[in-house]
Structure 1
Amino acid sequence: MYRFLLTPRWWGINVFVLLAIPFCIFMGSWQLSRFEDRMQDHQAASAEAGSGERESARPLAELLPVNKVTSGKPVTATGRYDRQLLVPDRELDGKEGFYVLTLLRTDGGKALPVVRGWLPGTPDPAKAPAAPTGEVTVTGALQASESPGSNGVSAQGGLPAGQTAAISAASLVNLVPYDVYDAWVTLAEADSGMTAVPAAAPPDTGLDLKAFQNLGYTGEWFVFAGFVVFMWFRLLRREIEFLRDAELGLLPDEDREEEAGRVTV
């Protein structure tokens, strides 16, 4: 009855199935491991955020470039405040508001974006307290540069003068005539009655859309593996039924010609 499994046609089907199932399982397992890695990074970042306040602040140069390890770490930098900008559409504690961002000109010549605090309402330069004058030393959490379109950050276009959508060197270099660090700092204690902005999770460590995409892809690959098995059994069942009908002479003329090319029972 099952001699048809030895025909070239079924050899091809069987080889495909034997290769497809392990491949689908491997890809599903890999996507699952990616999701688990993101979960572990998220848990580690949460634990780090809880203990970050007890760490001693380190000089900026020791923590650059920003990565998963250094993001959120306490950092200290010295310089003079220069250009001040507002960052609109920033939510804090469920309220809409804006960041007050001031560029700190360091001794090295480059500027460090410093978020001095958050204020509620629409961005208004009159509401933003002026930055301290003279040389200052700031202490806060180091953050990775933002990119437009990620984490709810809008595009730069269409904003009034004195505002920026993303806190990044790529965005700020078009607004100031000097080099900007590819990182920024949120002060541990906000200036002049503003609300301090909490440090964000390191990049690619939160349970964002990408993490749940990995989980979704895991399910898809395992479904594909099950579908391959289902189709193999369905083809097997149809082949057996075809051969049985051929034995009983129940096939139409056109199917008799097809059956002539198969292995009979």
Structure 2
Amino acid sequence: MYRFLLTPRWWGINVFVLLAIPFCVFMGSWQLGRFEERMDSHRTADERASADRRQAARPLAQLLPVDKATSGAQTTATGRYVDQLLVPDRELNGRRGYYVLTLLRQDHGKALPVVRGWLPGTPDPAKAPAPPAGEVTVTGALQASETPGDNGVSARGGLPSGQTGAISSASLVNLVPYGVEDAFVTLNKGDSGMKAVPAQAAAQTGLDLKAFQNLGYTGEWFVFAGFVVFMWFRLLRREVELARDAEMGLVPEEDRDPAASSDYAVR
């Protein structure tokens, strides 16, 4: 009755199943591994952030360029505040508001973007506190430049004058006539009564949407493997039923497959 398993059609089905199941299991295991890597990097980032907060702040030049090891580290920089911009569509503790971003012009000419604090509501230059005059020294958490689309960063253009969607040198260089560091600092204590902005986890280290996408893909690949097995058994049962019906003469002449008729014959 199971001689049909030796037909070319079933050879093709069986080879497909034998290749598809290990592939689905491999891809599911790989996606699970990616999720576990992100979990580990998230825990490491939290531990490093706690350690960074306990360590003394270091000069900015010692921490550039920003990478996973230096992101969130405490740093200091000295200069004069020159230009101020507002960064809309930023949430803090579940409330919508905006950052007050001020550029700190350093002695060597480049400016360091400094997030002085957060205010609720829509961006309003009249409500944003003016920066201190004269030379200042700031202390805060060092952050890598943002990339539109990551961590909820707005990628929309057409913002009013005095606003920017992303805190990045690529965006700011078009708004100011001097060089900008490829990093920014969030003050540990909000300036002029504003709320301090907590440091964000370095890229590819937090439990963001991509991490849970990996977990979702893990489930999908294992479901695919189970579906392949289910369909194979379903096709097998159908063939067996057809073979039994053919033996009993219950298959109409016009529904019989001439190529497989010998396989359904009584052995």
Q: TM-score when scaled to structure 1?
A: 0.91
Counterpart for residue 91 of structure 1: 91
Counterpart for residue 189 of structure 2: 189
Aligned letter for 1:2? Y
- Alpha-carbon distance between aligned partners in 1 of 2:149 and 2:37, rounded to the nearest angstrom: 24
Q: What's the offset of the Cα at 1:137? A: 2.3
Aligned letter for 1:61? A
Equivalent pair of 2:246/2:264 in contact (CA under 8 Å): no
Secondary structure at the aligned position of 1:163 is classed as coil
Equivalent pair of 1:59/1:76 in contact (CA under 8 Å): yes
Counterpart for residue 230 of structure 2: 230
Counterpart for residue 239 of structure 2: 239
Aligned letter for 1:27? M
- Alpha-carbon distance between aligned partners in 2 of 1:156 and 1:213, rounded to the nearest angstrom: 24
Counterpart for residue 177 of structure 1: 177
Equivalent pair of 1:98/1:120 in contact (CA under 8 Å): yes
Residue 265 (structure 2) pairs with residue 259 (structure 1): no
Q: What's the offset of the Cα at 1:102? A: 0.9
Secondary structure at the aligned position of 2:192 is classed as coil
Q: What's the offset of the Cα at 1:156? A: 4.3
Equivalent pair of 2:247/2:264 in contact (CA under 8 Å): no
Q: What's the offset of the Cα at 1:133? A: 3.0
Counterpart for residue 49 of structure 2: 49
Q: Cα RMSD (Å) of the superposition? A: 2.0
* Larger CA deviation: 118-127 vs 36-45: 118-127
- Alpha-carbon distance between aligned partners in 1 of 2:107 and 2:40, rounded to the nearest angstrom: 38
- Alpha-carbon distance between aligned partners in 1 of 2:21 and 2:219, rounded to the nearest angstrom: 14
Equivalent pair of 1:144/1:182 in contact (CA under 8 Å): yes
Matches within 5 A, 1:47-86: 47-86=47-86
Secondary structure at the aligned position of 1:176 is classed as coil
Counterpart for residue 34 of structure 2: 34
- Alpha-carbon distance between aligned partners in 2 of 1:95 and 1:244, rounded to the nearest angstrom: 68
Equivalent pair of 1:76/1:140 in contact (CA under 8 Å): yes
Q: What's the offset of the Cα at 1:184? A: 0.7
User: Which segments of 5 or more consecutive residues in structure 2 lack a partner in the other structure?
Assistant: none
Counterpart for residue 167 of structure 1: 167
User: Which segments of 5 or more consecutive residues in structure 1 lack a partner in the other structure?
Assistant: none
Aligned residue pairs total 265
CA 1:249–1:258 in structure 2 vs 1: closer, same or farther (change >3 Å)? farther
Equivalent pair of 1:115/1:187 in contact (CA under 8 Å): yes
Instruction: Render the CA deviation track for 1:44-87: whole Å, top value 9, x for unaligned.
Output: 22233333211122222332232222211111222222111111
Residue 106 (structure 2) pairs with residue 110 (structure 1): no
Counterpart for residue 152 of structure 1: 152
Instruction: Render the CA deviation track for 1:11-60: whole Å, top value 9, x for unaligned.
Output: 21111111100000000011111111112222222233333211122222
Q: TM-score when scaled to structure 2?
A: 0.91
Residue 218 (structure 2) pairs with residue 218 (structure 1): yes
Secondary structure at the aligned position of 1:151 is classed as helix
Secondary structure at the aligned position of 2:260 is classed as helix
- Alpha-carbon distance between aligned partners in 1 of 2:19 and 2:88, rounded to the nearest angstrom: 53
Q: What's the offset of the Cα at 1:263? A: 6.6
Instruction: Render the CA deviation track for 1:179-215: whole Å, top value 9, x for unaligned.
Output: 2122110011232222221111211222221111111
Secondary structure at the aligned position of 1:186 is classed as strand
- Alpha-carbon distance between aligned partners in 1 of 2:89 and 2:9, rounded to the nearest angstrom: 62
- Alpha-carbon distance between aligned partners in 2 of 1:230 and 1:79, rounded to the nearest angstrom: 68
Equivalent pair of 1:156/1:171 in contact (CA under 8 Å): no
Q: What's the offset of the Cα at 1:258? A: 4.5
- Alpha-carbon distance between aligned partners in 1 of 2:80 and 2:105, rounded to the nearest angstrom: 5
Aligned letter for 1:171? S
Q: What's the offset of the Cα at 1:262? A: 4.1
Q: What's the offset of the Cα at 1:261? A: 5.9
Q: Percent identity?
A: 76
- Alpha-carbon distance between aligned partners in 2 of 1:263 and 1:63, rounded to the nearest angstrom: 76
